[in-house]
Every structure is written in structure tokens, then in C-alpha cells.
Amino acid sequence: MIKDEFFTVLEQQLDKGFPFVAYRKPGENGEKERTWALLQREAKTYYVGDFTESGFVFAPFEDQEKALIIPAEVSDEISTEYFFEEEHKNVKMEAPPFPPNQLRKLARVEHENLVQKAVDAIKVGEFRKVVISRSEKVETQLKVVEIFKNILKKYDAAFVYLWFHPETGIWLGATPETLVSVERNRFKTMALAGTQAFHNTVEVQWGEKEIEEQQIVADYIVGNLKNSELIATEKLQVSQAHTARAGNLLHLRTDIEGNLQAGASALKQLIGTLHPTPAVCGLPKDVARDFIIKNEGYNREFYSGFLGELNVKKETKRNSNRRNQENQAYASISRSTSLFVNLRCMKIEDGKARLFIGGGITKDSNPSLEWEETVNKSHTMKAVLVK
């Protein structure tokens, strides 16, 4: 489908009030060459049951039972060509001129106080790490589809999306974090944490605080996978932590992959094991989650939940080795899943954008630097709200 037609169809779907998602995946294998959309044919609400369904899922931070799905069988799929422009890639470090300074001062004090409270709780041994977040409302003159086009233009290394559902409203984002991808029985995940601003190079030094913060995430994921009986432990591969760019930011990342045991409930259990990771919640998970819910003072909704393709049909052409069929290509159909953590995202409310941003707190966190980090992270979405 040609680009203009693709975006017109999205606008029409919004006008009708029917659920849809448009997205582009990062990654190799030409995946980022196409932008896809799944358009539900009616306004009905569907929830994920046992994760054997096929479609696109959108799950909140807190209650996995409330994960919505746009099922493949009641939707139409369309796609258009890759849409990324090199000159838009470098996000300006200066934020666009919003919101008003007074509001920001108050938000800063509140955020720094909460970070300090978290540091104090860590120092007395209540938990080791917690992710503290906030939301911020900003003006935008752009229509939703124009914002999505900006996201497509700027962020080629992220999973980028525009989601609409009458139950959730409109969400957009450009996330650097994979929750899990599964193809046949092979799964991949990552431990992503630690942040610094990108200044034209990925050859950077990391401080002790960031190294520890990311190590906690990696150890947690690897430890839980090994204990879960869901995977073949001897096949688990864990990379060294390396620097990965996400727009105007850099993070530390460990890649983890392995083989998933067979069984209909394996994917559901794997997701339950991984979500929410200490990259968005904390450690130990339950105590950190309680601290977040009690203290953050707002509802995260779908921020730091997860989203993506669930059990979508994939056709791969292979050459048969059988003697009398030599070189004859045959297609095999498999199912693949690509789920991402919903970070660097926003919700459109009354024509304004509500941005969601957070950061990992450990015993060494400095409240004022943590505030600055959320401001830097907010630029990922602010940069697409202006022409």
C-alpha cells in the first residue's frame, strides 16, 4: 500500500472508533523495512487468555489479566514501506519550550523527594532497586497520525507504534526494550538499564551506579530463567553488557537467548517470569511494586506494561534436502512473538500528550541527577510533538 493511503486508512479507523495498531519493528532481517497495521473490523473488546491467541497485545503495568488483544482473525492487516529519514535522526537535546517553568519546579521537587524516599528505603534494606516514574502533560498542535509519522522518521532502532482502543484511548511510543521474542522454540530477551545522554559516540565510560543498576536486572532475569524449568539451562547464552543507543540516550544492555521448553503454557509462564523486570519495577519485585503503587501518586496504566505481536503466522521459504525434490523451495508456516516493554511513550488526552518517564533508583542515586535523567528521557517523545 502506498504511504499516503496507509495513513488515510489509520485516520478513518480513528474516526470510526474501531481498535487498531500501527507499528514498525526494529531489528535485522529487513523487519524495519515495513510499517504494519492491524485494523479491527468492529469496536469489540478482547482480552488475552492463555497467550496462545494470535494478534497484537497491549498489556498494562499492573494487571496482566487485563491485557487487551486485537485478534488477527477479526482484523485486516495492511503495510507500507520503510519510512525513516536520516536527517531527522538526531533528536535535539534542547527540549521544545514546554511546559511552563513554575509547573516544572513543583514536579521537580516532588520527584526528587520521592527518589530520596526510595534511596532511604534501600539504605535500610527494604529493597535493592526500584524504578520511580512520573507523568507530564504537554501541548501539541499536531494530529495523532502526524505525531506517528514523526516517530517513524526519527527512531529506526526502536519499536515504534500508534495504538488506539476505545478502552485505552490513544497511545504512541518508541521503545528500546524487548520484553521477549520467540520464534519456534528459540527465545530472546534483554536486560536494559543505566542511562546517559548520547553525544555523537557510543564509546563511553559507565559509572559504578549504572553498572550495578544494570547488573541487578541481568542477574535477576538470568537467575529467574534458570530456576523456571521453562528453558534448557545449558543452551542459555548471555552476552557481555554493551552500550546501546536509543535516540538521544545511551543504555547498558545484556542480550540473553535460549531454548524454550515445549508446551502450550510456556509462553504465558515466560512472560510472567520476565514482566515486570527490575528495569521498570525493581527488586525484590513484589516489595518494589508495592512501593511504586503506594508512593508514585498516579496510575501508570500501560506505561511499563508490554505490547507487540503474539503468535503471528510467519511464512519461511526453505529448500528441501530430499533427493528427488532437490532445490525445490517449500514454505513452512511458524508462529512468532515479539513483545516490547512500553517505555518512551505517551497517551493522548483531550488533545494534549501525557508523557511517562522513569528511572532506576539504587542506594547510590542522586535525586537531582535522577530528575535530569527523566527530563532527558522526556525529550524522546517531546521531539515528535513539534513540526
Ligand X SMILES: C=C(O[C@H]1C=CC=C(C(=O)O)[C@@H]1O)C(=O)O
Helices 3-16 and 144-154, packing angle to 10 deg: 140
Among 151, 193, 292, 355, binds ligand X (CB under 6 A): 193
Among 21, 221, 279, 355, binds ligand X (CB under 6 A): 279
Q: Does 192 bind ligand X (CB under 6 A)?
A: yes
- Nearest approach, Cβ of residue 373 and ligand X (Å): 7
Q: For residue 238, what is the enclosing H or E element?
A: strand 237-238
Q: Does 276 bind ligand X (CB under 6 A)?
A: no
- Nearest approach, Cβ of residue 279 and ligand X (Å): 4
Name the segment binding ligand X (CB under 6 A); options: 85-93, 104-112, 186-194, 221-229: 186-194
Q: Does 131 bind ligand X (CB under 6 A)?
A: yes
Q: Does 119 bind ligand X (CB under 6 A)?
A: no
Q: Does 179 bind ligand X (CB under 6 A)?
A: no
Among 280, 281, 283, 292, binds ligand X (CB under 6 A): 280
SS3 104: helix
Task: Please give the Cα distance from 69 to 174 (Å, whole number).
Answer: 20
Cell of 86: 536520516
Binding residue count for ligand X, defined by CB under 6 A: 17
Length of the chain: 387
The helix, strand and coil proportions of the chain, stated in percent and rounded to the nearest 5, come to: 30, 35, 35
Q: For residue 259, how far is the Cα from the chain centroid?
A: 23
Q: Does 194 bind ligand X (CB under 6 A)?
A: yes
Task: Please give the Cα distance from 307 to 25 (Å, whole number).
Answer: 12
Cell of 368: 537531582
DSSP line for 243-270: EEEETTEEEEEEEEEEEBPPSTTHHHHH
Q: Does 344 bind ligand X (CB under 6 A)?
A: yes
Start-to-end CA distance of the chain, whole Å, equals: 25
Compose the 15-54 pattern: x for residues touching ligand X by CB under 6 A, - for all others. ----------------------------------------
Name the segment binding ligand X (CB under 6 A); options: 9-17, 153-161, 290-298, 355-363: 355-363
Among 122, 182, 343, 353, binds ligand X (CB under 6 A): 343
Angstrom CA distances, 63 to 55, 67, 150, 272, 300, stand at 19, 7, 31, 11, 11
Name the segment binding ligand X (CB under 6 A); options: 19-27, 144-152, 332-340, 356-364: 356-364
Q: Which residues bind ligand X (CB under 6 A)?
A: 131, 133, 177, 192-195, 251, 279-280, 343-344, 357-360, 377
